[in-house]
Amino acid sequence: MARPSRKDDILQAALACFSEHGVDATTIEMIRDRSGASIGSLYHHFGNKERIIAALYLEGVSGYARLVEEGFARADNAEACIKTLVACYIDWVAAHPEWARFILHSRGRVEASEMGEQLREANRLHHGRIDDFLRPHREAGAFRQMPRDVFVSVVLGPAQDFSRHWLAGRTRSDLADCRELFMDVAWEAVRAQ
């Protein structure tokens, strides 16, 4: 396995600082100390704290997107595609709870930042790839009729809502233990009757 880059070290240090102290209370100096990077390296890679926040957010959501694409490559029918979306979401959140909490609480900040357009473009590309994978199944009539902008919310909404509660420590059930249930619920919600 390749050694993480200096940029990755800085992002992981930032995530640890944000998790421990909160985004607003974390300083560039705290991130520099935690990562062992020079201040020059930190500014070279990111420029400022807001760019670190945006880069960390974008890297997190791209990790989920990569899981989805890998899963779709193995999915051979409509049901498998829908269940892949849910499984990848739950797997990523369960494997990266601190990152998931950060993403949950930082979206608005990133959208409003100078990196907001980059986030919107990444989301547009990700949703476009999902739509491309699902198009043949949609055209074959595998899914119930609903507006496209509602579809992914119907598929992921229950898993995302439960994940928020799980990340906040408000659930008795473990997220990973509910994976199959949420996959089945998503398929039942969108399959053609």
Domains with residue ranges and CATH for the chain: 1-47 (1.10.10.60), 62-190 (1.10.357.10)
pLDDT in tens, 126-168: 999 999 999 999 999 999 999 988 999 999 999 999 999 999 9
Residues with pLDDT less than 70, the chain: 1-4
C-alpha gyration radius of the chain: 18
**Predicted local distance difference test score (pLDDT) of residue 4:** 61
Angle between helices 148-167 and 78-95 (to 10 degrees): 30
Cβ neighbours, 10 Å, residue 189: 16
pTM here is 0.89
Question: Residue 166's closest CA among 83, 100, 68, 85?
Answer: 100
**Predicted local distance difference test score (pLDDT) of residue 1:** 47
